């Protein structure tokens, strides 16, 4: 049985890790390189870094930060934010990232997924999707871009299918309604996407305790769970999460 992955997300703003609730009221919580090294020491499977203001400011990827992280952690990590061209993808990978997350830029230019997958391989291209409940969208969820600030005309399920067809090898699916709330992942949304695409789906938004991860990894059919608040706050370590998931019969790498 394939092991489920635990992934820590670090939202980066002006070179510092920041944390907000539902994309608002972000506060500085530390140095992303030091934090990455600590989560690596705790046994995290992967890391994700998002420059949360790059796209809205029209800025490119955070190459200096990526190279400093690559010197200190020896697990796969993904970088998103401000990556809008093949050159941006190339420079991000050369700086040390294994995967590239395309979110706002992919919505604006879907060909970037196709070209990125053609040149660098599907395994390098991750679709980052911020979805919010919307009864007017066919699936009940609408896609947002620019750090959740701008609604699009894209339905979450339709966009997931389209992105996979274009070449995305993985989807990080963030529920804007649950983001930062620590009350549990959006199970229905996660299962909806996971059952309709043939690439791994990473659940994001809402993790507050190990039971939430167990639920989304089983009932939600996610291949991995992304955590932020619950480890950034010090309430949990990665090791504790994995031990509790293993006790709940969820297959994880210990």
213, 18 contact by CB (below 8 A): no
Do 91 and 41 touch, CB atoms closer than 8 A?
no
C-alpha–C-alpha distance, residues 96 and 73, integer Å: 10
Would residue 130 show up in a list of annotated catalytic residues for this protein? Answer: yes
| Six-digit token string for 186 | 């959006």
The one catalytic residue among 11, 51, 155, 179: 11
Which member of 51, 130, 155, 179 is catalytic? 130
* 3-class state of residue 240 by DSSP: helix
User: Which uninterrupted H or E stretch holds 201?
Assistant: strand 201-204
DSSP state at residue 3: P
Contacts of 175 (CB under 8 A, 6+ apart): 131, 132, 185, 186, 189, 190, 204, 205, 206
Assess contact for 197 and 206: CB atoms under 8 A.
Answer: no
In degrees rounded to 5, what are phi and psi of residue 164?
A: -65, -40
Distance CA 71, CA 74 (A): 8
Q: Does the annotation count 64 as an active-site position?
A: no
- Strand 150-155 with 141-145, pairing: antiparallel
Positions marked active-site: 11, 130
């Amino acid at each position: 049985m394939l092991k489920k992955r635990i992934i820590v997300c670090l939202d980066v703003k002006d070179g510092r890790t920041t944390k907000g609730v539902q994309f608002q009221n972000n506060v500085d919580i530390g140095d992303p390189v030091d934090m990455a090294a600590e989560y690596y020491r705790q046994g995290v499977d992967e890391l994700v870094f998002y420059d949360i203001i790059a796209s809205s400011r029209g800025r490119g990827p955070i190459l200096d930060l990526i190279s400093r992280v690559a010197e200190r952690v020896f697990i796969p990590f993904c970088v998103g934010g401000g990556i809008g061209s093949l050159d941006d993808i190339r420079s991000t990978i050369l700086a040390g990232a294994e995967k590239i997350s395309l979110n706002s830029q992919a919505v604006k230019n879907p060909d970037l997924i196709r070209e990125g997958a053609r040149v660098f391989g599907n395994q390098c291209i991750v679709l980052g999707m911020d979805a919010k409940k919307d009864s007017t969208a066919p699936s009940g969820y609408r896609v947002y871009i620019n750090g959740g600030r701008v609604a699009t005309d894209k339905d979450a399920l339709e966009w997931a299918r389209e992105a996979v067809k274009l070449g995305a090898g993985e989807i990080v699916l963030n529920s804007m309604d649950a983001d930062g709330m620590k009350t549990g992942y959006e199970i229905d949304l996660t299962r909806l996407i996971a059952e309709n695409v043939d690439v791994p789906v990473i659940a994001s938004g809402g993790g507050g305790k190990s039971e939430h991860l167990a639920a989304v990894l089983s009932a939600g059919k996610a291949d991995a769970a992304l955590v932020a608040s619950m480890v950034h706050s010090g309430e949990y370590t990665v090791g504790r999460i994995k031990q509790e998931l293993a006790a709940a019969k969820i297959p994880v790498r210990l």
